[in-house]
Chains A and B, each alone.
Chain A
């Protein structure tokens, strides 16, 4: 692709980052592009697309971060996206991030990139890890054997970036012409040659490298048939040849070709890698830790202990911060209140600003410390490698329920906020497992529900606050498990996908990467506050103030009327008042708003609200209400996330419906059951 000039006379080039998951690719992307990033979606699929930009000398480089993949088959969405981008968009350079400590497996992708004819530059990353394990790599020889430039890097420390940027620019201007060829053996090479001649003249074939096309076709790659028109006689020829070969070997063609690929890779690594081993085979530190952490008796207790530490960390550090933020918003409210009054702004507007916006948004942002702390802790667990072990430990338990071990990581995230939890289900390859996890994730009590619990708990259960709140979290988990089993049994029948998971070596997470991950997840919460909740708060204010002349947020206002209309439905659950119903209705949009709505309706601030609640509700009704809040409907942001991840309003609608019904049933059950027991 010719270098295009920007207005400032810079050459514009486009590069793509490809590599295994866990190879440090994301860190590399962040290091290269800094804050100049943009996240979107690849069209037509649910795979995330990350783009960014950086300047180097007189180059303006656009960076596309491809999904982390182990190979470029057409089997998974991630791989198809990566492959199509490289083949059809033809970036100037493909930077392949390779984990130096795991050369064999990482090179599997590298060889495929080279076979595709991409202009590859290898970033030999995590070089320090390899050195720690006494692995030495002859970089020059590696570059020679692969036929591509190889630059050693340590992305978490920012090392090697200059040299990498330099090589990227060099390669963009001087694309790699020579290409190494993997020798697939006499018989296969013969057939490849025959196919190659015929395939390049096919319709659609001119976009791709002809040898790569021949290789894919011989392998039986499904994606090829979608992009290239293969004439019937060519297909027949291929099938005949494959039949003969498979009969000869007693083995299928894909396996044989994969073996030959690994044979090539093995040859390369044998040449370039030197392992210095001590005389006795020592078990590495990672294994020693694993010995304890994955022990069949200690594993689950250790995991529970870890979770307890996470929650303690989140709440003990977070609660004082909540106090500060509350104080901040009170002060803001006072400031704006008196300030606006001074200027002579109308009472209505003052009410909108102070009672509505500041109060409403304040009630949401108050939980920012908790959320960020939770995600900080989860990031540490993930980056250190412990989460993978946790998935391994939980898999036994999950498997007995018919679920997948990896499902439980999104569920843990769900304790913070359902939105990043739903997005985290992407790590599940099996669509069925993924769907089930997405549907039950909202049952994990997210932090938005906490203000509701706290309100009622301080009004009625002040002696046992921790216990009652814990009972709700526990109920959520139990329901999630039950619904998961039910969904598996009746809606998503079929085998659980194969559990094959990499256990990365334990690492000490860097502060920088932990903060970046924490921010990625937490920022979706702040964005939610800024947009949806802001809109809802204004909406509530509007509905409370109309029809004109009505007393603010009284039963006569539209807010009140909506509440009154819905109230009878909740009578059997003990909270059939218009106030409660109105709060629930608006809670659909954002759970945090339940408290805000109640505060608005009773025209009081938050502390006073506790008193009001204590006077107008009963403890049993309060508990039933909390149960309802726990279960009913994922919030608007979560519904949006479900739609986005499943690409279907149908499933989002189903999630809404089933949680509504389940919530109502459980609340009624609690109230009626409790009344019978005389509580």
Chain B
């Protein structure tokens, strides 16, 4: 498996697959409800170094807070 690193460090335009979701049960629950599970493919729409990120998940756009984004590990899709 390729190395996975936190969502918060990805660049705009990059695509990746969710490999791990660290963090408490409630947080993972919330993410799951919104469609984010291991294996989900996401793309970074916006990532300024402060404030929430915007990612695309399928047809959707999600805003993800920075704290949460550090707990989601992504393997970059080449």
Given A294-B54, A395-B52; A108-B64 close (CB under 8 Å): no
- A296 contacts chain B at the CB level, 8 A cutoff: yes
Interface residues of B in 32-68 (CB under 8 A from A): 32-35, 37-40, 45-46, 48, 50-52, 54, 56-65, 67-68
Complex contact B54–A503 (CB within 8 A): yes
Contact of A501 among B38, B39, B63 (CB under 8 A): B63
Contact of B45 among A258, A290, A405 (CB under 8 A): A290
- A278 contacts chain B at the CB level, 8 A cutoff: no
Q: Which of B21, B46, B61 has the most CB of A within 10 A?
A: B61
Complex contact B68–A500 (CB within 8 A): yes
Which of chain A's residues have a CB closer than 8 A to the CB of B67?
Answer: 495, 498-499
A388 and B54 CA atoms in complex are apart in Å by: 12
A286 and B40 CA atoms in complex are apart in Å by: 22
Interface of B: prevailing SS = mixed
Which of chain A's residues have a CB closer than 8 A to the CB of B29?
Answer: 73, 75, 254
Interface residues of A in 254-270 (CB under 8 A from B): 254-255, 258-259, 262-263
Complex contact B59–A102 (CB within 8 A): yes
Given A259-B38, A396-B51; A500-B59 close (CB under 8 Å): no
Given A287-B45, A294-B46, A396-B51; A262-B39 close (CB under 8 Å): yes
- A392 contacts chain B at the CB level, 8 A cutoff: yes
Interface residues of A in 388-409 (CB under 8 A from B): 388, 391-392, 395-396, 399, 405
Complex contact A502–B33 (CB within 8 A): no
Q: Which of A263, A296, A392, A495 has the most CB of B within 10 A?
A: A392
A504 and B33 CA atoms in complex are apart in Å by: 15
- A445 contacts chain B at the CB level, 8 A cutoff: no
Contact of B62 among A104, A287, A391, A500 (CB under 8 A): A500
Write the nearest CB–CB distance from A494 to chain B, whole angstroms.
13
Given A101-B59, A255-B28; A290-B65 close (CB under 8 Å): no
Which of chain A's residues have a CB closer than 8 A to the CB of B54?
Answer: 290, 294, 392, 503
Complex contact A286–B51 (CB within 8 A): no
Complex contact A499–B37 (CB within 8 A): no
Which of chain A's residues have a CB closer than 8 A to the CB of B61?
Answer: 286-287, 290, 502-505
Which of chain A's residues have a CB closer than 8 A to the CB of B48?
Answer: 296
A286 and B61 CA atoms in complex are apart in Å by: 10
Given A290-B45, A392-B52, A503-B63; A498-B35 close (CB under 8 Å): no
Q: Which of B21, B34, B39, B65 has the most CB of A within 10 A?
A: B65
Write the nearest CB–CB distance from B41 to chain A, whole angstroms.
10
- B26 contacts chain A at the CB level, 8 A cutoff: yes
A144 and B59 CA atoms in complex are apart in Å by: 24
- Mark interface residues in A269-280 (1 if CB within 8 Å of B CB, else 0): 000000000000
Which of chain B's residues have a CB closer than 8 A to the CB of A294?
Answer: 46, 54
Residue of A nearest to B35 (CB): A105
- A133 contacts chain B at the CB level, 8 A cutoff: yes
Complex contact A500–B31 (CB within 8 A): yes
Which of chain A's residues have a CB closer than 8 A to the CB of B3?
Answer: none
Given A108-B35, A258-B32; A499-B68 close (CB under 8 Å): yes
Which of chain A's residues have a CB closer than 8 A to the CB of B50?
Answer: 296, 396
Contact of B63 among A286, A495, A500 (CB under 8 A): A500
Complex contact A104–B32 (CB within 8 A): no
Which of chain B's residues have a CB closer than 8 A to the CB of A258?
Answer: 32, 37
A504 and B57 CA atoms in complex are apart in Å by: 12
Complex contact B46–A105 (CB within 8 A): no
Which of chain B's residues have a CB closer than 8 A to the CB of A125?
Answer: none
Residue of B nearest to A404 (CB): B65
Which of chain A's residues have a CB closer than 8 A to the CB of B1?
Answer: none
Given A290-B54, A501-B62; A105-B39 close (CB under 8 Å): no
Which of chain B's residues have a CB closer than 8 A to the CB of A108?
Answer: 32-33, 35
- B78 contacts chain A at the CB level, 8 A cutoff: no
Complex contact A75–B62 (CB within 8 A): no
Complex contact A405–B33 (CB within 8 A): no
Interface residues of A in 440-499 (CB under 8 A from B): 495, 498-499
Complex contact B34–A395 (CB within 8 A): no
Write the nearest CB–CB distance from B49 to chain A, whole angstroms.
9
Given A258-B32, A294-B54; A499-B45 close (CB under 8 Å): no
Write the nearest CB–CB distance from A507 to chain B, whole angstroms.
13
Which of chain A's residues have a CB closer than 8 A to the CB of B30?
Answer: 429, 498, 500
Contact of A290 among B46, B59, B60 (CB under 8 A): B46
A405 and B65 CA atoms in complex are apart in Å by: 10
Contact of A395 among B57, B62, B65 (CB under 8 A): B65
Contact of A104 among B21, B35, B45, B63 (CB under 8 A): B35
Contact of B59 among A133, A262, A388, A495 (CB under 8 A): A133
A294 and B52 CA atoms in complex are apart in Å by: 10
A287 and B26 CA atoms in complex are apart in Å by: 29
Given A296-B51, A392-B52; A70-B34 close (CB under 8 Å): yes
- A581 contacts chain B at the CB level, 8 A cutoff: no
Complex contact B39–A498 (CB within 8 A): no
A594 and B78 CA atoms in complex are apart in Å by: 67
A214 and B5 CA atoms in complex are apart in Å by: 36
- Mark interface residues in A407-429 (1 if CB within 8 Å of B CB, else 0): 00000000000000000000001
Given A105-B58, A258-B32; A392-B63 close (CB under 8 Å): yes
A75 and B31 CA atoms in complex are apart in Å by: 13
Residue of B nearest to A104 (CB): B58
Write the nearest CB–CB distance from B52 to chain A, whole angstroms.
5
Write the nearest CB–CB distance from B11 to chain A, whole angstroms.
15
Which of chain A's residues have a CB closer than 8 A to the CB of B32?
Answer: 71, 108, 255, 258
- A135 contacts chain B at the CB level, 8 A cutoff: yes
A105 and B34 CA atoms in complex are apart in Å by: 7
Which of chain A's residues have a CB closer than 8 A to the CB of B38?
Answer: 255, 259
Write the nearest CB–CB distance from B13 to chain A, whole angstroms.
10
Complex contact A500–B58 (CB within 8 A): no
Chain B residues proximal to chain A, CB less than 8 Å:
21, 25-35, 37-40, 45-46, 48, 50-52, 54, 56-65, 67-68
Q: Known pairs A133-B59, A255-B28, A502-B60; list 10 more (Cβ under 8 Å).
A: A102-B60, A108-B32, A255-B21, A255-B37, A258-B32, A500-B65, A501-B62, A501-B63, A502-B34, A503-B62
13 contacts between A and B (CB under 8 A): A105-B35, A105-B57, A255-B28, A255-B32, A262-B35, A262-B37, A290-B61, A291-B46, A391-B63, A392-B51, A499-B68, A500-B30, A503-B60
Smallest CB-CB A-B distances: 5 pairs: A499-B65, A70-B33, A396-B51, A105-B35, A503-B61
